[in-house]
Chains A and B, each alone.
Chain A
């Protein structure tokens, strides 16, 4: 517990940022009409691949038009 308290102020902001990225990706995936490739696959990628998953979705998965 003491260990955790020591690391918390350093790691907490990163976790929060990561969470924001994750939530934004999920919200966008729910609202978007069509993705590049099957939608359920992107849901799995965002859910299970940490950090890289949401970024990959924004870079590759979104269809711009």
Chain B
């Protein structure tokens, strides 16, 4: 256990050194803040941009606070996912390429703790950044529109973060099983997109799909209650995370021993 903690600390230190602890939260804040502000100032923006014929009247209904939060959240499923994948795709593949992994693994460090410490480090970064970013979305929505109860904010945060964790774990898995960071990033993005596309088109049959967690988080904000299928979906997400981690350790060990 203490060995695992040391590895985690090393991981944290490394993320400090390459400024991930600064730029990932800031990017998430900027992503999250964009939505409430642009929807609040939309009439002014249209005025300033101009180009409308004289006398044209555009009535944009003011969105409700829940709608603003939902569209703010949807930023994280597109650009947020992209940033998560880009920052984690190299964590194992790049270290193996540069030989750092081999240097650590000659010491009596188990493959298991090597991979899970890396995963845990990037998961902490992701959860904290997403929390700060979403908190700023919530704060600005409250400031400019209406305050959403904190419990609903927190529930929707949790289920969204669970889905983002699944994507993160998929990225770690491909990073461990493929040699090239770019390749693993590309495949993880493709997997994330395919899963969410399939589960949103077949949403009636795939109620338990982890990608549906984002839809359920939106429903929590809209209807103020947790949908029934949230429990199986989150359980499946947890199972996916554990299985993917197990297989990434397994494949990584096999590849590293063969090399």
Contact = CB atoms under 8 A, between A and B. Distances in A.
B19 A17 contact: no
A19 B37 CA distance: 18
Given A10-B143, A58-B19, A64 B29 contact: no
A17 B26 CA distance: 7
A44 B54 CA distance: 40
Interface stretch (B86-94, B186-194, B222-230): B86-94
Interface string B138-171: 0010011000000000000000000000000000
Given A24-B23, A58-B23, A17 B18 contact: no
Interface string A15-43: 00110110011001000000000000000
A56 B90 CA distance: 16
A10 to B, nearest CB: 7
A5 interface: no
Nearest to A58: B23
B26 A20 contact: yes
B30 interface: yes
A65 B23 contact: no
Given A10-B143, A62-B18, A21 B26 contact: yes
B22 interface: yes
Contacts of B98: 64-65
Interface residues of A, number: 18
Given A10-B143, A59-B83, A62-B18, A54 B23 contact: yes
B33 interface: yes
Given A59-B87, A64-B94, A28 B33 contact: no
A30 to B, nearest CB: 13
A10 B37 contact: yes
Contacts of B29: 17
Nearest to A54: B23
A51 interface: yes
Contacts of B143: 10
B208 to A, nearest CB: 33
Given A21-B30, A58-B20, 15 more contacts: A10-B140, A10-B144, A14-B37, A17-B29, A17-B30, A21-B22, A24-B23, A55-B83, A58-B23, A59-B87, A62-B18, A64-B18, A64-B94, A65-B94, A65-B98
Interface of A: 10-11, 14, 17-18, 20-21, 24-25, 28, 51, 54-55, 58-59, 62, 64-65
10 tightest CB-CB pairs across the interface, nearest first? Answer: A65-B98, A58-B23, A21-B26, A59-B86, A64-B94, A24-B22, A55-B27, A17-B26, A14-B33, A17-B29
